[in-house]
Structure 1
């Protein structure tokens, strides 16, 4: 029997195996575990950006309607257990320990097979499926794709609905360097006869998805064609929009900021519609309103402090950065915008920094302990901003900012989601200490 710390350390130690695209190991591992994925009702959510927010909108709608909802997401923000949750409550430590006890000998026993040992993500995916099928038993599980889709370890399920939120240029070393190639990988989650909800905007990406759906005799419900939204107004803390489909027309409020969050919310609404049309769920208009309004996802335009103003946003690729910059220009054009940025080496760093410079009064670069992180010096050298800085120690930088921030200043902490997960608990503690000392 493990301690909790030992169990998590064993999982993380599997990062040394790297990313292993392919499904053979997963099928073998799950067969050894009794194929738990076959006993789960699920929705599969892929795409470049918007997966986590779409998951949380849909989860909150379903919870408001009285359903128990499992979620499998990544990465975590404050605690590893968040990745496997039911109704927003992370898996208990004792259940996680039990799962590692079961899976460890099977995983290590695969070392000499033709497929080799499963990776960290494969192990966590398998753990979630055993937990949902055999312990927690939620009514429905929302599985977020980890990387791509076609060869992602979550792609062993046959869901009730497949969702593709968006297509962007990310993870190109694994997925290809054109929109068509990346779309092909994302469309790999489409299953025979399973309806598809798409928020994809590019014509060439839509074409790839439609062709994959046609091969699988699946119907595609496309944003902008089969369902629509119109952004009505920008709220102090959120958005108001009108949603329209062949079945439904109504105005909703959400509490997450940005036009991109309206798109994520509309995808969740359409997915709920399809689940109801298949007699999998029922809900009322009140459930939709309350679910969308209460939805919150950490690290997505998350206001963690009002005075001083500090916002976390996990914009970790060009599309995410573009959405962040658009929101900054819409909402904070009269403010002094200070940005603290850290990212991984395999991103389009120069392009992302150029975009951030459009919105920044001051931009600071830092790094954190992580295998693929770009150094603060490297990021600094890529910037041409007249007021660029290096924050060698980001914790010391935050101490100074929290103490010295101007009245009209807003600090945005952005970049890698792994960076934000390091920053958030430290930042919350610093804010709490600051309040106590006043």
Structure 2
């Protein structure tokens, strides 16, 4: 039985993460047993290797400026589980989490008994809770972030008003495939018959896969760089300037506190998704909503400055594609700063390649550490990682290794010069731990 919030979380987190054979049939059966709540939800579905969360945040803020109540479903969470489900950025309550867990629990028990492979996974349960909550009418539109891939992700039961694919890069290759076209095919699985799709900046070969799927599905497709455009105008006082333009739409100048070329790409994808949604729903496209929404968007853990003196930044870059973008940002806008990078990386990622790429930045020193990975997922051993990276780069950029991430954080923080920058990155799970730790230390010092 589930009587409390903690019992609800224990129930959810106690479920299996994956099944041997992925399928949407179990999710469809689960939701049908609950009365098919997904069929009562108006949604925009967002997939992509990187950029899903930031794109969702931009889009949410634009839609809110239009006076809409906007639901969000995101993963993973940084601080509290409740972050996964929110309305206008306000987290779902503990009481609602408990109530929804109580609601799905008997169905889960029933499916455990009836299905040969067992009942729903952890993410399927969370997804079902989300659909059940929003089917109650808490939002005008729900922005749903794919958990993993797209084609067989449990969110992919939804028939959205718009589908969005932000980026295609190297991540989860053991599940999604060992080439970018194979990964793109999985992401393109969210494209539904005649539902428009908005696509970000994607390399030629995987883009061809997405365009083919859209053609087969008779889905109108808008592509960044072809159908809509973004131009960066530089970073000033920790704000990124850029312009957005598209056919039959005036060029507009915008500013966001989420800095980096990749964030302007995400903002452009969000703007185009908003335009497509409004056009298909016969709603006005409000330029002021776009400007205000973009300027007011914040997204924790995305090159987020959590300390001013000294400057400490956290970023959840957790794969080689995301690290590539961080490197470009450091080279272009922080080349005159002394940068210390503290990295904790999961062992099932391309950890050595991520560190090697960071080591190409001329003005950095890298400190490696480890943390407690989620569930059974282990963090990469920093000592082994140092040996691999040094043998390949030979430049001695890795300056220290710590087995304890709290000691590592305290040490590098204490050694930071007044004009230096500390960037903490490598994993969303890692920066979640560090963010809570540093903010709690800051609060205790006041």
Instruction: Report the TM-score range of the alignment, normalised by the length of the smaller protein.
Output: over 0.9
Match of 2:107 in 1: 106
Q: Secondary structure at the match of 2:163?
A: strand
Q: Displacement, 1:422?
A: 1.5
For the Cα contact (< 8 Å) 1:146–1:154, is it kept in 2? yes
Cα displacement string for residues 191-236 of structure 1 (whole angstroms, at most 9, x for unaligned residues):
0000010114211111111110111111111111111111122222
Instruction: Give the stretch that moved more between structures: 185-194 or 231-240.
Output: 231-240
TM-score by length of 2: 0.94
For the Cα contact (< 8 Å) 2:239–2:257, is it kept in 1? yes
Return the alpha-carbon distance in structure 2 between the equivalents of residues 381 and 93 of structure 1: 45
Match of 1:282 in 2: 284
Match of 1:380 in 2: 386
Match of 2:118 in 1: 116
Q: Does 1:369 align with 2:380?
A: no
Q: Displacement, 1:35?
A: 0.4
Return the alpha-carbon distance in structure 2 between the equivalents of residues 85 and 133 of structure 1: 14
Match of 1:247 in 2: 248
Q: Does 1:92 align with 2:93?
A: yes
TM-score by length of 1: 0.96
Cα displacement string for residues 389-428 of structure 1 (whole angstroms, at most 9, x for unaligned residues):
1122211222233333212221110011111112211111
Q: Secondary structure at the match of 2:59?
A: helix
Match of 2:350 in 1: 348
Q: Secondary structure at the match of 2:313?
A: strand
Q: Secondary structure at the match of 2:112?
A: coil
Return the alpha-carbon distance in structure 2 between the equivalents of residues 335 and 432 of structure 1: 27
Match of 1:74 in 2: 75
Q: Displacement, 1:104?
A: 1.5
Q: Displacement, 1:18?
A: 6.0
Cα displacement string for residues 92-149 of structure 1 (whole angstroms, at most 9, x for unaligned residues):
0001000111112211221231342111111101100001111x52000000011110
**CA RMSD of the aligned region, Å?**
1.5
Match of 2:438 in 1: 427
Return the alpha-carbon distance in structure 2 between the equivalents of residues 426 and 235 of structure 1: 29
Return the alpha-carbon distance in structure 1 between the equivalents of residues 160 and 120 of structure 2: 23
Change (3 A) 1:288 1:17: closer
Return the alpha-carbon distance in structure 2 between the equivalents of residues 396 and 22 of structure 1: 43
Q: Secondary structure at the match of 1:155?
A: helix
Change (3 A) 1:416 1:121: same
Change (3 A) 1:68 1:76: same
Q: Secondary structure at the match of 2:156?
A: coil
For the Cα contact (< 8 Å) 1:44–1:163, is it kept in 2? yes
Aligned residues: 434
Return the alpha-carbon distance in structure 1 between the equivalents of residues 318 and 325 of structure 2: 11
For the Cα contact (< 8 Å) 1:19–1:119, is it kept in 2? no
